[in-house]
Amino acid sequence: MSDSLPSMTASIPHDILAVPAAGDTPPVAAVPVRLVSTNGTPKPPFPLPAPTPTQDAGQGVRFDFNDGCRVTLPEGEWHVVLRDTETGNVLFETDIGAGAVTSGKKYFVPFELEVQKRGKDADAAILHRYDAKDREVLIQFPVGTLGDLMGWFPYAVKFQRKHGCRLTCSMSALIAPLFRRAYPEIKFITPEEVDPARYYATYNIGLFFDDEAHTHQPVDFRHVGLHRTAGHILGVDPEEMRPGMVLADESRPIEERYVCIAVQSSTQCKYWNHPTGWREIVTFLKEAGYRVICIDQKATHGSGLVWNHIPHGAEDQTGDRSLEERARWLKHADFFVGLSSGLAWLAWACGIPVAMISGFTHENNEFATPFRVINYHACNGCWNDVRHRFDHQDFFWCPRHKDTPRQFECTRLITPEQVRRTLRRIPGFGVGLEPVALQA
């Protein structure tokens, strides 16, 4: 028996789209991506790629990697092969006339494209292996979400450093200022400023809830974590990494030592639903000597008959303030206490200890923190359970126990004492402080 293994030449299923041309310059049909970020935005959040591939391969053939691998072919008889250079698989191989070929996978794949004209007039084969070095690449993030982007952006940085590309990141104009000074090598634009004809490759980062075919993500984000899914989509090391931030004003906002808290969120299952939880913790922190600063956007938030208010005794720094101002408060805080929400991710990015109170997500869904507060005696982890599709339109979503006495028990059964025990473990907690006067 020979010790050598046969080479793999057979194609593997890849859901390739191959269509005949409708004209002399066949465009690649662009199908809108239905993606929903954690803020529940229902419309497609990304500009679509250019209708015709942006790269000229010669012989009238055009290609790019702006929606997976896209190829258009002029009149003639062509032999097309698409490979994955990492796995060694032939993904697709066919004979085709004038038309277009589009890969089924839209996340990063190290493609190799081979196009050969058939017949007596055949020229040399066109062979292109993916190489983004010094080429324009676009990574698009949905707008309207803070925490997701704080976790995802570092993987764009990893991609730029790995490939040496000229990277453009499309994101909210409210968030870009946090990163722009720290990453002068990256261009930051808004979705409205995207010129899709410029780019060699484009990748869309988001949470693809209904992607059973793994078209837009190689693994379901609920299995690998909210932030690490970006690493898998971009084909880089999924190990988490804080983003760098350089603020316009990094001065300390107040002289006394303080703690930042954020109690609001976008849906009730994310709240700490213990009836006296926040009031007790604010009292506990002030008795330990800290000023307690609430940095939520809204002092009150809710739906229907349920409204959540800033805790009694906390100092109100809520309102429509810039994210840079909130980051300034966080950078100088002793620590942060909050939920699985955007401000917790911002606190993590600022490099301070984060005590996160969450039950509806598993611990690996967010960044690692030794100060995670979760009660495994209660129902938990529904967000990461693929059997339950999160409903962004239902403020009171609780897929296992809605309208029963157990609704929201994942956080309702997290006691103030459990939170106090966690906070006491933070290095330097209360050291050298005198109690802050409590309000009547």
- Whether 416 is in a domain gets the answer yes
Looking at the structure, do residues 183 and 264 belong to the same domain, yes or no? no
3-class SS string, the chain: CCCCCCCCCCECCCCCEEEECCCCCCCCCCCCCCCCCCCCCCCCCCCCCCCCCCEEEECCEEEEECCCCEEEECCCCEEEEEEECCCCCEEEEEEECCEEEECCCCCCCCEEEEEEECCCCCCCCEEEECCCCCCEEEEECCCCCCHHHHHHHHHHHHHHHHHCCEEEEECCCCCHHHHHCCCCCCEEECHHHCCHHHCCEEEECCCCCCCCCCCCCCCCHHHHCCCHHHHHHHCCCCCCCCCCCCCCCCCCCCCCCEEEECCCCCCHHHCCCCCCHHHHHHHHHHHCCCEEEECCCCCEEEECCEEEECCCCCEECCCCCCHHHHHHHHHCCCCEEECCCHHHHHHHHCCCCEEEECCCCCHHHCCCCCCEECCCCCCCCHHHCCCCCCCCCCCCCCCCCCCCCCCCHHHHCCCHHHHHHHHHCCCCCCCCCCCCCCCC
Q: Of 202, 223, 246, which one is at a domain's C-terminal end?
A: 246
Residue pLDDT, tens place only, 131-168:
999 999 999 999 988 999 999 999 999 999 999 999 99
Looking at the structure, do residues 232 and 293 belong to the same domain, yes or no? no
Looking at the structure, do residues 23 and 85 belong to the same domain, yes or no? yes
Q: Is the pLDDT of residue 3 over 80?
A: no
Q: Name residues whose C-beta falls within 8 Å of residue 161's C-beta, 6 or more positions apart in sequence.
A: none
Q: Of 246, 277, 302, which one is at a domain's C-terminal end?
A: 246
Looking at the structure, do residues 179 and 213 belong to the same domain, yes or no? yes
Looking at the structure, do residues 240 and 367 belong to the same domain, yes or no? no
Looking at the structure, do residues 188 and 278 belong to the same domain, yes or no? no
Q: Is the pLDDT of residue 176 over 90?
A: yes
**Stretch 201-230: mean pLDDT:** 95
Amino acid in the structure at residue 108: F
Q: Which residues are catalytic?
A: 148
- pLDDT band of 122, cuts 50, 70, 90: confident
**Stretch 47-62: mean pLDDT:** 96
More confident residue, 55 or 440: 55
Residue pLDDT, tens place only, 333-344:
999 999 999 999
More confident residue, 117 or 169: 169
Closest CA to 267 of 222, 311, 302: 302
- Whether 4 is in a domain gets the answer no
Q: Kindly report the number of other CB atoms within 10 A of residue 59's CB atom.
A: 17
Q: Is the pLDDT of residue 5 over 80?
A: no
Residue pLDDT, tens place only, 421-437:
999 999 999 999 998 87
Cα torsion at 146, 149, 154, 159 (round to 10°)? Answer: -160
Q: Are 153 and 243 in contact (CB under 8 A)?
A: yes
- Whether 435 is in a domain gets the answer no
Number of domain units in the chain: 2
Residue pLDDT, tens place only, 317-326:
999 999 999 9
- Whether 344 is in a domain gets the answer yes
- Whether 360 is in a domain gets the answer yes
- Whether 439 is in a domain gets the answer no
Looking at the structure, do residues 190 and 292 belong to the same domain, yes or no? no
Domain that holds residue 92: 9-246
Average of per-residue pLDDT values in the chain: 90
Q: Of 196, 218, 246, which one is at a domain's C-terminal end?
A: 246
Looking at the structure, do residues 148 and 54 belong to the same domain, yes or no? yes
Per-residue pLDDT, 41:
46
- Whether 252 is in a domain gets the answer no
The CATH number linked to 268 is 3.40.50.2000
Q: Is the pLDDT of residue 275 over 50?
A: yes
Instruction: Out of 32-36, 82-86, 316-320, pick the least confident.
Output: 32-36
Looking at the structure, do residues 227 and 365 belong to the same domain, yes or no? no
- Whether 436 is in a domain gets the answer no
Looking at the structure, do residues 226 and 333 belong to the same domain, yes or no? no
Q: What order of strands is seen across the sheet that includes strand 61-64?
A: 17-20, 99-102, 70-73, 61-64, 55-58
Looking at the structure, do residues 81 and 195 belong to the same domain, yes or no? yes
Looking at the structure, do residues 96 and 142 belong to the same domain, yes or no? yes
